[in-house]
Amino acid sequence: MTLHDIKMTRPSARDGAVTTPWWKKATGYQIYPRSFCDSNGDGIGDIPGIISKLDHLQDLGIGFIWLSPVYRSPMVDNGYDISDYQDVAPEYGTMQDLDRLIDEAANRGIGLVMDLVVNHCSDQHAWFRKAVASSVCREHDYFIWADATDGPDVLPSDIESVFGGPAWTHLPEVGKFYFHQFASGQPDLNWQNPELRAEIYAMMNWWLDRGIAGFRMDVIDLIGKDVGAGKLAEGPYLHDFLQEMHSQTVKGRDVLTVGESWCASPETGPLYCGEDRDELSMIFQFDHIKATWDPEFGKWKNVPVDLPRFKTTLANWQYALEDSGWNSLFLSNHDLPRQVSRYGDDGTYRNRSAKMLAIMMHLLKGTPFVYQGEEIGMTNANFHSLEQYRDLEVAGRLAEALEKGSTVEVFLEGARRNARDNARTPMQWTAGENAGFGAGAPWIDVNMNHTTINVAADGADPDGIIHTYKQLIEMRKTSAVVREGRTTFHVVDHKQVCAYTRELGDQTIAVVANMSADSVEFVAPPALCGQGQPLVSNIASRHSIDSVTVLEPYEAYAVLRNAQHSKRCCHQNGVVAQHALEA
Ligand code: GLC
Ligand code: CA
């Protein structure tokens, strides 16, 4: 898609014309700026570095970038603790650099979606500093306080912070506790205060007026909370606030909004993004991610992926948003392990299983998001000691796991599999020093496997993973059935194979993906079977899904059938199948 196309599809919202929004044809690409490309050798990725790599993104064919926070920040949580929403962190560059990024991306037909972190700010934000200095100033009520009636040691409630430890911190100079669902350096904002909300909307409009393509909204399910009642996620005011935000900011603008919601379910999903709701374009939901975690220790204990559960969640979300609303499609981001390590095989079958995962996800209905490095099959960090981790969550959660009776070994094994730093090692551009990330020693260790896994090598290899991504990204732009086709999952109980169909008019796409390292004799139900045109594959092209197909380890392919392709054929015999294809 070119910028021209983006402009052409701008709906004339005022006269109510309905067109396919550009973000239904586009694939997103997430950049974690600290780890993408370092232009000045200080070991930290930066905006000029991103600009220098825009050709890679254009080549991939993506429609927009989701840029993780680059705002001014003490970097307690790598920028998810913002001290100035209208300035750029000096280590990442300047406002001029950012404007240049917006322009240079637009020149390549790529929009820039900014991260919006407004459930909380930094304790270094001017609002919080004023709020601490005076209990009667306007900003004091921008935060959530509790009196220390029973002294500083008696917590107002037992709510825990996401990074471990209590969600309340006592400030002697105020004589009160303040509330923070994340680190103590990330005080929650009090969305009940209308003046605060007005300031946030003004800030959002300031960014929108700069020409950005939208917002990814951090933990947005938490803003409607009622802390007193203990209702945090999907609290009572959530949808009122989202509707107000929509009417005050994005309404009438052709932009994309995607809200992060760890608690959304197929039942509540439509409330955020249903077409008549005027809230968000789509959400990031995490059912399919959480479905593979341990019930007690969460992600800190390694358990194998329960494939039937995983597929059930994907299917339920496809069905829930079938007629109204829109899905985001992802397995990776800066908070999750590398997908090839989690759901594929990052050893022998790395190339094949990375492509399998791409085929399986990208042919679903929704907007796919590629996380930096995913397109070349980057793997987990393979850290061997606690010292290599940089994420504050690791330290916070270790103490807790030990209290619960886990051991350091079990925790480290869990961290090796699931810690957020797995996705935060420097982007692997070349086989050279620091993986071509920059001239100076990076802030976090480079993965040793960069000598073989890197953009230069993958791109030069005709069998490289990136070529499958390009193919899939292109298909979404050009194929209506990829964008709009109705999804039906098949064999949901199958422990190795993921299979679904997409149907629109007389076209059907049938997808099969062997998500296991075994060769599988797959017995397909009639609805899946049939001859057609090979659409995409990770081994060799196949023209049909037969009633019995032997799938190679991690094999995935898709077949496009038109009405003239008989659906019965493969259930009869090979001769009939051949005949149907020629007919
Ligand atoms: C979101 C972000 C994560 C961050 C947290 C607090 O989950 O994706 O990186 O730590 O919110 O802002
Ligand atoms: Ca730098």
Residue 491 token pair:
């064999």
Q: How far is the CA of 46 from the centre of ligand 2 (A)?
A: 5
Residue 370 token pair:
């590629």
- Do residues 14 and 45 make contact, with C-beta atoms less than 8 angstroms apart? no
Region of residue 92 (left: phi > 0; alpha: psi -120 to 50; beta: else): alpha
Task: List the catalytic residue out of 81, 115, 260, 335.
Answer: 260
Q: How far is the CA of 80 from the centre of ligand 1 (A)?
A: 6
Q: Does the Cβ of 117 fall within 6 Å of ligand 1?
A: yes
Compute the distance between CA of residue 582 and CA of residue 472 in angstroms, rounded to an integer.
Answer: 27
Residue ranges with CB less than 5 Å from ion ligand 2: 38, 40, 42, 44, 46
Which pLDDT does position 330 carry in this prediction? 98
Q: How far is the CA of 58 from the centre of ligand 2 (A)?
A: 22
Q: Does the Cβ of 118 fall within 6 Å of ligand 1?
A: no
Beta-strand relationship, 214-217 and 256-261: parallel
- Do residues 551 and 500 make contact, with C-beta atoms less than 8 angstroms apart? no
- Mean pLDDT over residues 89-109, rounded? 98
Compute the distance between CA of residue 367 and CA of residue 26 in angstroms, rounded to an integer.
Answer: 7
Q: Is residue 38 among the annotated active site residues? A: no
Tens-place pLDDT, residues 314-345: 999 999 999 999 999 999 999 999 999 999 99
Residue 382 token pair:
């393979």
On the question of pLDDT at 91 being above 60, the answer is yes
Ligand 1, residue 163: give the atom nearest the CA.
Answer: 10
Please give the DSSP secondary-structure letter assigned to residue 532. Answer: -
Tens-place pLDDT, residues 340-398: 999 999 999 999 999 999 999 999 999 999 999 999 999 999 999 999 999 999 988 89
Residue 371 token pair:
């996380």
Bridge partners, 523 (sequence order) = 548
Tens-place pLDDT, residues 129-183: 999 999 999 999 999 999 999 999 999 999 999 998 899 999 999 999 999 999 9
Q: Is residue 260 among the annotated active site residues? A: yes
Question: By three-state DSSP, how is residue 537 classified?
Answer: strand
Write the CA distances from 168 to 76, 135, 164, 178, 189, integer angstroms.
17, 18, 11, 6, 13
> How many other CB atoms are found less than 10 A from the CB of residue 169?
19
> How many other CB atoms are found less than 10 A from the CB of residue 384?
9
For residue 221, the one-letter residue type is D
Structural domains of the chain sorted by starting position, each given as residue range(s) with its CATH number in brackets:
126-179 (3.90.400.10), 194-326 (3.20.20.80), 485-583 (2.60.40.1180)
